[in-house]
Amino acid sequence: MGRLHLATIAVLAEWTERTRAEVRDGFPETVTAFREGMAVHGRYGQPCPDCGAPVQRIRYADNETNYCARCQNEGRVLADRALSRLLREDFPRTLPDDA
């Protein structure tokens, strides 16, 4: 939990500085959660920049979370409510070996 807390602080500080450098004394004209320099956010299906595994997605209502199963979850694929219910036993629990 301590590592997560420190990582969260570091990432928030980095993106605060990036945004301040981008807008200087102004205010961002557009507000978006998807930024070019983010590793996996908004990049479902694309290769992870660290390990090359496809970025996974969890969808719930109008929300979406992207993550790398290999880098962030020890290779385990997290259950997507709709898809895991539909596929049941066939829902993949881990990434394929060739991913």
Q: What is the residue-level pLDDT of the chain in tens, covering all 99 positions?
A: 899 899 999 988 998 888 888 888 877 776 666 677 777 888 889 999 889 999 988 887 778 888 898 998 888 887 776 666 666 666 566 676 655
pLDDT at 13: 94
List the structure tokens of 86: 């539909």
Burial class (CB in 10 A: 0-12, 13-18, 19+), 75: middle
CB atoms under 10 Å from CB of 54, counted, come to 17
pLDDT at 10: 93
pLDDT at 32: 65
pLDDT at 82: 64
Can you give the pTM of this predicted structure? 0.60
Going by the DSSP 8-state scheme, the letter that residue 89 receives in this structure is G
- Rounded-to-integer distance, Cα 99 and Cα 80, Å: 19
